[in-house]
Amino acid sequence: MTQITKDNVANIVAFLEENKNKGGDVSLTDVMHLAEMMSGSMHEFLSKVQPAITEELTAIAREISSMKQEIAQLQAKDMTSNRIPDAGRELDAIVEATEDATNTIMEAAEEIMSADPTNFAAYHELVNGKMIAIFEACTFQDITGQRISKVVSTLNYIDQRVSDFVARLRIPDGFEAPVEETAEERRKRELILHGPQMTGEGVSQNDVDAMFPDSQSEIDKLFD
C-alpha cells in the first residue's frame, strides 16, 4: 500500500513540476486533471479503509472524466479562434456594404436633386442613369442577408454547445452567481441607453406626439 501511495504521490509531484512554470495560467482542464490524479491516488488506500468512500471517489472521478469530455466537446478554441472572429468579420462586412450602398443611393439622390431640369433630355438621361445606380446599390441586400444567416448559424452553434454543457452540469435554476455591473452597463443605465426597440416594443411617433401637444388647442384638450 505504501509503495502504491509513493508512486501516486510521485505522479502528482511530476504533474506539478511539469506545470510549475505556468504561473497563474492554469486552465480548468489542468485543475480537473490534477483532481482526477489525486482522487485516483487515494483510491486504493481508501478502499481498504472505507468502501463507501471508495464508491464516492469513484463516482467523483467518473464525473470529472465525463466533465473533461464535455469541455472538449465545447470546442471553445474553435469558437474563440474561428467562429466568433469569423462572425465579427461578417458583421464588419455587413456594415461596410450597407454604408457603401447608402452612400451610392444618397449620392444619386443628391445629384438628381441638384440637377438642372430645364434641359429635359440631359435631365432625363441623368435621372435614368442614377436610377440604375440605385437599383444596383440595392443588391447589397441579398449579400448581407447571406452574411447575416452565417452569423445567426454561428450564434446557434454557440448557443447549442453552451446549453448542452450547462444541462450536463445539472446546474439548478436560480443558481447563477450575482454579476457585478460593468462601467459600460452603468453608463447605459444612467444615460437611459436602450438602443432601437423591436416592432411593437417601443413607443410610436403617435405615442410621442401625444406627449408633445403640437398646438395650444391640443394642450387645452388635455384639460377638458
* Residue with Cβ nearer other proteins (18 or 110): 110
d(CA 115, CA 131): 14
Considering only residues 84 to 123 of the shown chain, the ones binding other proteins according to CB under 8 A are: 99, 102-103, 106, 109-110, 113
Task: List Cα–Cα distances, 208 to 15, 57, 214, 222, 223, in angstroms.
Answer: 66, 64, 11, 15, 18
By CB under 8 A, the count of residues binding other proteins is: 24
Closest CA to 64 of 34, 89, 32: 32
DSSP letters along 51-111, please? HHHHHHHHHHHHHHHHHHHHHHHHTHHHIIIIIHHHHHHHHHHHHHHHHHHHHHHHHHHHH
Asked if residue 215 binds other proteins (CB under 8 A), the reply is yes
CA end-to-end span of the chain: 95
d(CA 181, CA 177): 13
- Tell me which amino acid residue 220 is: D
> In the bound complex, what is the minimum distance in angstroms from residue 110's beta carbon to other proteins?
7
> In the bound complex, what is the minimum distance in angstroms from residue 224's beta carbon to other proteins?
20
> In the bound complex, what is the minimum distance in angstroms from residue 125's beta carbon to other proteins?
23
Site string for other proteins, 172-191 (x = CB under 8 A): -------------------x
Asked if residue 50 binds other proteins (CB under 8 A), the reply is no
Asked if residue 202 binds other proteins (CB under 8 A), the reply is yes
* Residue with Cβ nearer other proteins (37 or 137): 137
**Which residue among 136, 203, 220, 221 contacts other proteins (CB under 8 A)?**
203
* Residue with Cβ nearer other proteins (21 or 217): 217
**Which residue among 2, 21, 205, 217 contacts other proteins (CB under 8 A)?**
205
d(CA 56, CA 60): 6
Determine the interface stretch with other proteins among 60-68, 139-147, 174-182, 205-213 (rule: CB under 8 A): 205-213
Closest CA to 167 of 58, 79, 62, 67: 67
Determine the interface stretch with other proteins among 48-56, 71-79, 134-142, 203-211 (rule: CB under 8 A): 203-211
> Which stretches within 115-177 are classed as H helix?
120-137, 140-169
Residues that bind other proteins (CB under 8 A): 99, 102-103, 106, 109-110, 113, 191-197, 202-205, 207-208, 211-212, 214-215
